């Protein structure tokens, strides 16, 4: 997955979760997936917890995080 491909899976809308980045069509926030990754969860485990997520959700969250860190560095 190209890093910018996450844009097709992630959105921030002031009407959804106070504008926090979420996975499109869900109320699952990107930080929730990143937190699970940090806790050692594997992609299949995360997807089983949030069955509404697309299979590329974890990769999308990582790409999003990489771009945010690059932007603030």
CATH of the domain at 18: 1.10.10.10
Burial of 38 from C-beta contacts in 10 A (0-12 / 13-18 / 19+): exposed
Please compute the mean of the pLDDT values over residues 8-16 and round it to a whole number.
94
Q: Which helix (H) or strand (E) holds 66?
A: helix 57-72
pTM: 0.88
Count of CA atoms in the C-beta half-sphere (13 A) of 22: 16
pLDDT at 3 over 70: no
Tokens encoding 55: 């299979």
Q: How far is Cα of residue 14 from the mean position of the Cα atoms in its chain?
A: 17
Question: 9: domain range?
Answer: 3-72
The domain total for the chain is 1
Please compute the mean of the pLDDT values over residues 23-38 and round it to a whole number.
97
């Amino acid at each position: 997955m190209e890093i910018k491909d996450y844009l097709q899976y992630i959105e921030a809308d002031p009407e959804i979760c106070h504008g926090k980045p979420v996975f499109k069509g869900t109320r699952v926030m990107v930080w929730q997936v990143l937190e699970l990754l940090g806790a050692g969860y594997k992609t299949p485990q995360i997807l089983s917890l949030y069955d509404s997520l697309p299979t590329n959700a974890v990769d999308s969250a990582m790409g999003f995080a990489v771009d945010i860190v690059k932007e603030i560095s």
